[in-house]
Structures are given as C-alpha cells and as structure tokens.
C-alpha cells in the first residue's frame, strides 16, 4: 500500500541441515552463525575439535541446533564417515560449505614441493572429497554446495604463494565442473572468492605484509567474515535458485572481473 515501507524478508533455510568444514573460526564460524539465523541446523566440522565445539556452542546460544566433530579434510574416509554421521543424526543433508583452508605466501622459489602438496591437498582435494561425500545426500534433498575460493584464484595475488593461488583457481574449476554435472539433478554448486578478510589468515601476517595488503584495498579496510557469510547464505537459499556454476567475487573492488 502507498506510504508503507517494504520489508525485506531474509531467505529461509528453516529445517535444513548445513555441514560446514573449517567451522572452528573465521568465515566458517561466521557462516554457521548466519545460517542458524536463517533456521538451519549446523554440523560444525574442524580439524580442531575444541574450535568446532565452540562454534556449536555459539550456535546453540543463538537458539539453534548444532553438532560438532573433528575431521581432517584430506581424509576421504573421515569425509564419508562424518557426512554419514550427520545424516544419521538429523536424517538429511541440505547444504555443504567447504570453508576449510590454509594460506601460504612466497614465490615459487620459496615454495617447497612438500608445502605445494599440503596446500593443494587441503584447499582443493579437501573440497573435492567433502563434495563427493555429500553429493549423494544433496541429490536426494535438492541441496546446494558453496565452496570457498579466493581473490588469489581469480587474478594475480598480492602475497599468496603459487600453491595457494593454484589451489583456489582449482576450486573454481572444480565448482564449475560439478555444477555442470549436477544441474539436471537439482543440486546447485557455486563458490565465493573473498578478498582479504579479517581472519587470522590476514591479521597474523607479518606487519610489512599486512601493511602491503591494506595499502592495496580500494575500500581501505578488510572485509568481515560476516560479509562473506551473507553471500554464502544467499547462494545456499532459494533466492539463488537459478544460480549455479558461478564464482562470486566479494573483495571491495580490489578485483573487478
């Protein structure tokens, strides 16, 4: 009616079950707290059990249902067993967020073969393994996956090592390929590519490197984990029902692709 202010209704995930890797902190924890506001039940998975439990406690304090587990994202058996345990606990899986990851800085000459393999295993293979474990259940639910890529996977990086950039570019390719395979099955698969974000990945950098990152930001500030979580929530919801195979840049104008 004339004179009435429109009220925006947040997309709901009421009754859905969302599993989040890397849920112990940063973007993973912020995503858990955002999704519970939308009505989702949260399976918080992290290498650090205490961190996963802290996220679950925060979800419970916000009035939601939570379940916590420790798992190594590079362990295929752990992925299968953890997903099976979530489905046994709640009877379904509707959403998967692959947020676990590690950052390395430096040049190719400064990157050892072992460190190359470690970063690729955690950031890229881990995303594949948990997607593979979750897909059979998501196919039944008509669910969605959101993977975490990075600005470093989209363009030249300020500081990231080649291993990190390659892993995050790989996440984009993996996302598009899986999305193409499963669009007809009713499963949407997208990724988010954050720029520098206020997490320990960035705030723990040496002062010189941190200052270099800050100097490059058009907005003059880091993004917050909550801002990234908002985009993840949107992509998991029915508000994004016709979006699949996309990489959404959230970087404050640092890269405009």
Catalytically annotated residue among 164, 167, 182, 245: 164
The mean per-residue pLDDT over the stretch 142-158 comes to 94
Please check whether residue 12 lies inside any domain of the structure: no
Domains of the chain: total: 1
The number of CA neighbours under 13 Å toward the Cβ of 35 is: 36
Tell me the two tokens of residue 8: 């925006």
Q: What is the DSSP letter of 153?
A: G
pLDDT of residue 4: 65
Please check whether residue 257 lies inside any domain of the structure: no
Pairwise CA distance, residues 217 & 201, whole Å = 16
Please check whether residue 79 lies inside any domain of the structure: yes
The number of CA neighbours under 13 Å toward the Cβ of 24 is: 17
Please check whether residue 112 lies inside any domain of the structure: yes
Q: Is it the case that residue 2 has pLDDT exceeding 60?
A: no
Distance from CA of residue 73 to its chain's centroid? 13
Please check whether residue 10 lies inside any domain of the structure: no
Q: Are 29 and 225 in contact (CB under 8 A)?
A: yes
Neighbours of 7 (CB within 10 A): 5
Please check whether residue 120 lies inside any domain of the structure: yes
CA geometry: angle at 22 spanning 247 and 197, to 5°? 55
Please check whether residue 171 lies inside any domain of the structure: yes
Q: Are 26 and 81 in contact (CB under 8 A)?
A: no
Is residue 83 very low, low, confident or very high in pLDDT (cuts 50, 70, 90)?
very high
Question: Phi and psi of 173, rounded to 5°?
Answer: -65, -40
pLDDT tens-digit profile of 165-192?
999 999 999 999 999 999 999 999 999 9
Instruction: Answer yes or no: 8 catalytic.
Output: no
**Strands (DSSP E) along the chain, which ranges?**
17-21, 41-46, 66-70, 95-98, 144-148, 188-194, 247-250
Query: What pTM, to 2 d.p., does this model score?
Result: 0.93
Q: Is it the case that residue 1 has pLDDT exceeding 70?
A: no
**Domain region containing 46:** 17-249
Please check whether residue 207 lies inside any domain of the structure: yes
pLDDT tens-digit profile of 89-133?
999 999 999 999 999 999 999 999 999 999 999 999 999 999 999
| Residue corresponding to tokens 């949407």 | 188
- The CATH code of the domain that includes 203 is 3.40.50.720
pLDDT tens-digit profile of 223-244?
899 999 999 999 999 999 999 9
Q: Are 147 and 189 in contact (CB under 8 A)?
A: yes
CA distances from 186 to 27, 77, 84, 241 (A): 26, 26, 21, 10
Is residue 38 very low, low, confident or very high in pLDDT (cuts 50, 70, 90)?
very high
Number of helices (H), then strands (E), belonging to the chain: the values are 9, 7
């Amino acid at each position: 009616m004339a004179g009435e202010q429109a009220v925006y209704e947040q997309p709901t995930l009421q009754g859905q079950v969302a599993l989040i890797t890397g849920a112990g902190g940063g973007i993973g924890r912020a995503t858990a707290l955002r999704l519970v506001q939308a009505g989702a039940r949260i399976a918080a998975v992290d290498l650090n059990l205490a961190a996963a439990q802290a996220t679950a406690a925060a979800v419970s304090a916000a009035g939601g249902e939570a379940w916590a587990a420790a798992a190594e994202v590079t362990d295929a058996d752990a992925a299968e067993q953890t997903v099976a345990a979530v489905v046994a606990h709640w009877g379904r899986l509707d959403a998967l967020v692959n947020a676990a990851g590690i950052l390395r800085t430096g040049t190719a000459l400064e990157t050892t073969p072992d460190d190359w393999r470690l970063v690729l295993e955690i950031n890229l293979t881990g995303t594949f393994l948990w997607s593979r474990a979750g897909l059979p259940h998501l196919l039944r639910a008509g669910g969605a996956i959101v993977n975490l890529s990075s600005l470093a996977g989209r363009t030249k990086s300020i500081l990231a090592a080649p291993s990190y950039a390659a892993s995050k570019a790989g996440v984009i390719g993996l996302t598009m390929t899986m999305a193409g395979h499963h669009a007809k099955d009713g499963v949407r698969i997208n990724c988010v590519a954050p720029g520098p974000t206020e997490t320990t990945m960035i705030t723990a950098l040496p002062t010189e490197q941190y200052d270099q990152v800050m100097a490059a930001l058009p907005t003059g500030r880091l993004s917050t984990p909550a801002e990234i979580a908002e985009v993840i929530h949107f992509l998991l919801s029915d508000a994004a029902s016709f979006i699949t195979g996309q990489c959404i840049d959230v970087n404050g104008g640092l890269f405009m692709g």
